[in-house]
Each structure stands twice: as structure tokens, then as C-alpha cells.
Chain A
């Protein structure tokens, strides 16, 4: 319990919050997370939606993203760091690659779950393929896709913490640095910060999902599992 008290002292110490301290680290962590999720989404979401729309190759998507779960994050991070050297390129690249499988799987699942008769009907009344994707499939899959973004974001926050092992960025440095210098206060304090960040972002997503635009109607809901 002593340790927790020390960590609390470190967290509430104004000195920790001066320039170069906690605020900067939080900003770094958020920035890395944001950049990684955006890049991964730009690659993965259109791909997943396309596979779901064509209804071909879904088996591959599911199998690959399942297998990707087996790939150890730390392994990929250290491997990339050894190949690409010091700097941000290695961790960002590694994190982007790790974030792609769950995003593709989520986008694919969201679109594929739509009752086939709905896009078929849209096609029959004269919507072009692009209009079917944009006006019918994406709106109906939106909830699942955003759910995928939510878990990807959480994953990236976690892996960005690990990235501190190979580069000096983000809140993970408090943990890695604290381990080296046996500064338990810093270590635990840093951990608390990461957890808080993760939970706040998760709550933000949960709130966003309550917005009207993500309230799908019953017929599409049949195929959904309720996300918390």
C-alpha cells in the first residue's frame, strides 16, 4: 500500500505536470494512437467493406485476423526496431500493421451481417454499386464498424505503451524508465495514467455509439451482438 501512496504523491506532485512532464507524454501518446488508428483505418476499412460488399473472400478475412491474434506485439515491435532502426517509423509501422486485422474483420463482419435481400433490393431499384455501399451498407454497418474502431483504439493505446520499449515516446516511458531506475512511484503512476487514458477513450466511444446515427433498426439488429 506504501507503493500506491508513493505513486499518488508522484501523480499529484505539480512538478510532474510541468513542461516535458505528464502533459507532454499524454499528448505524445494520444498523437501516436490517433495517427496509427487513422492510417490503419484508411487501409483496413475500405478493404473490409469491399470484401463484405462482394461477399467473396470473407473466409480469408476471418481466418487471417484470427491468426493475427497469435502474433506477439513485442516481437513485432523489436523486430521492426532492429530492421528499421531508432525513431518513430518502426513503432508506427508495427502498430499500424497490428491494428489492421481487427479493423478489417470488424468492417467485413458489419457489412456481411446485413441481410442479403437489402442490398439486393437496393440494386434492383437502380442504385449503383457505389451508392449501395455508401447509402445502404455503410450506414447499416456503421455501428459494428465504429465498434471495431473502438477495440482497435484500445489495442493501439496498449501497444503504444509497449512501443516505449523501443522508442522514447508516450506514457509507456514512465513504466519502462521506472523499471530501469526502480522508481516504483513513476512506474505505478505511469500505469495509472495509461489505464485512465484507455478508460476515458473507451467511455467516449461508448457515448458516441449512443448517438442517433448508430441506432440501427430492428431488422439490421437481428444480426448484431450488443456491444458494451
Chain B
């Protein structure tokens, strides 16, 4: 479980990246941080593993203040996935995935075994293990990034726009993979995204942030669509957006779904 208590970040020149944010990510659930650029989503995320220190307030993991834990040890106990992998280009895929177990002092052999398990878990062929990251496609690199984050068996997973750098088709695949993994593993996930569809797809709860880092609304996807707290949320989540305002019509013996501008976008099977 992750808890933010009045966390804020103010930079020396006066910019307020995050202003007094408090919320909780319940254990074994996924919370998506959603918002426009400059809303402080990544800043908040990075407070959890102390890549950024809050100017005031605190961040707690399972009721322990992260500020009281040595940052290096803390990071080894948290899984971190970034956009475009962040893989070490001069190490093989297997070595990359084995990073955290190795850092923790596990033997080369056991780290390697663990890495191979992780590769299988994220759906990658074992033979990719001996390749170097730049020999893999973007989607494969992201899977390696996830494998690396999971190799240390952390309770908490931090994801910073993890699927932003790949094309939409691969992105859907990876999102589905993540949902499958989460069903199997039950990690506590905090995910940053600017993609509303991704937040709706992956988040058990969504926290919408305004520019300047304050919470506009925190709710489940259904709540957000049905009861947006204000105009900002409504326009952001797209409840009033023609693309999300769908209608159903029977035509040609089937039930067709139309968006607000009258374009057909899907069918209803059941």
C-alpha cells in the first residue's frame, strides 16, 4: 500500500510541481495517475522511490515513511518501469532482467534462473535472453523492462508512461499482458499516463491531477465517466467528448455503436 500525505514539491524558482497531495493506493490494486503535462504525475511517482524528495509532506509504503529507508535499498525493493525501457545497452537482456537480484547479492546462477522465469512470465522467448536490447523491437524492450521490474519480486510497481513509446497495436497487447500479470501476481501498482484510454483500461482507481499538481478527482473509471467532479475532469476524461458519447442503433440486423459525430465505431455482440 502506498500513501501520500500532503506531499508537495516546490522548486527553487518558485514553480509548484505538486501542491499538497494526499491519497492512497490500496494494496494489490492499480492506481493510474492521469493528467496533462505539468500536472506533476511523474514527480509524485518519483517521490515513492526517492528519485525526487518532497518539499513537504511524506510518502509511506505499508506505513513506513520512505524517507527513513536508505534510498538505494528502497529502490531495490521497488519495481520501476520507464518509458522506452531504460535498459542497459551494454548488457544482454538476461543480464538486464537479473539486475536487481544481482544487486541484492544473489548468486549469478540463481539470478539467471530468476531472469529466465521472468522472461517467460512476460511472454518472451528464452532465446532473446542472449541478445542485446537494441536488437529487440520496442514492444519486446518494454516487456524486458517489466520483467526486470518484477525480477526482485517487489510488492510495489511504479510505472512511468510505460507504453508511451510503442505504437497503438503493441500498446494494447502490452496493456492486456499487464492486466493478466496483475491478475496473477496482485502487485500494488502506481501508473503514470497521459492516455485516458490506458487509465480507463488499467486503473482500478484513477487520480486526475490538474496542472500545478493538485487532485481534481479520485474515483473508479465508472464514477469518473458518470459523475465527473467538475468541467475540467469532464473535458479531460472526455465524458462530453464526441468520441466518448456513444449511441446504440439497430441497423442491418445488428446492433451498431456510433460516436457523437455519427461515425460507426463498433458492434455489440451480446
Contact = CB atoms under 8 A, between A and B. Distances in A.
A and B touch in the complex (CB under 8 A): yes
Interface of A: 117-118, 120-128, 131, 136, 139-140, 216-220
Interface of B: 49, 51, 72-77, 80, 82, 84-90, 99-100, 103, 132-134, 148-149
Given A139-B90, A220-B89, A123 B134 contact: no
Contact of A126 (B86, B89, B103, B134): B103
A122 B86 CA distance: 8
B151 to A, nearest CB: 9
A133 to B, nearest CB: 14
Find the residue from A120, A123, A125 having the highest chain B CB count within 10 A. Answer: A125
A131 B133 CA distance: 20
A31 to B, nearest CB: 35
A126 B88 contact: no
A220 B88 CA distance: 10
A126 B86 CA distance: 13
B89 A125 contact: no
Contacts of A120: 51, 82, 86
Contacts of B84: 117
B19 to A, nearest CB: 24
Given A125-B80, A139-B90, A218 B134 contact: yes
Contact of A121 (B86, B90, B132, B134): B86
Given A131-B103, A218-B134, A124 B75 contact: yes
A210 B253 CA distance: 69
B62 to A, nearest CB: 18
Contacts of A131: 103
A217 B134 contact: yes
Nearest to B78: A126
A129 to B, nearest CB: 9
A124 B88 contact: no
Contacts of A220: 89-90
A118 B51 contact: no
B103 A219 contact: no
Contacts of A218: 89, 134
A128 B73 CA distance: 9
Contacts of A118: 86, 88-89
B76 A126 contact: yes
B72 A217 contact: no
Contacts of B133: 217, 219
A121 B103 contact: no
Nearest to B158: A124
Nearest to B73: A126
Contacts of A126: 72-77, 100, 103
Contacts of A117: 82, 84, 86
Contacts of B73: 126
Those 7 A-B pairs whose CB atoms lie nearest each other, nearest first = A121-B86, A126-B76, A126-B75, A219-B89, A218-B134, A217-B89, A124-B80
B134 A219 contact: yes
B100 A125 contact: yes
A124 B89 contact: no
Given A117-B82, A131-B103, A217-B134, A125 B90 contact: no
Given A117-B82, A126-B72, 11 more contacts: A120-B86, A122-B88, A124-B86, A125-B99, A126-B73, A126-B75, A126-B77, A136-B90, A140-B90, A217-B133, A217-B134
A127 B72 contact: yes
Nearest to A215: B90
Given A139-B90, A220-B90, A124 B103 contact: no
B89 A216 contact: yes
Contacts of B74: 126
A219 to B, nearest CB: 4
Given A136-B88, A217-B89, A220-B89, A124 B82 contact: yes
Find the residue from A120, A122, A126, A220 having the highest chain B CB count within 10 A. Answer: A126
A217 B75 contact: no
A136 B90 CA distance: 8
A57 B86 CA distance: 25
A140 B77 CA distance: 26
A108 B73 CA distance: 29
A224 to B, nearest CB: 12
A117 B133 CA distance: 14
Contacts of A127: 72, 103
A218 B133 CA distance: 9
B262 to A, nearest CB: 44
A139 B89 CA distance: 10
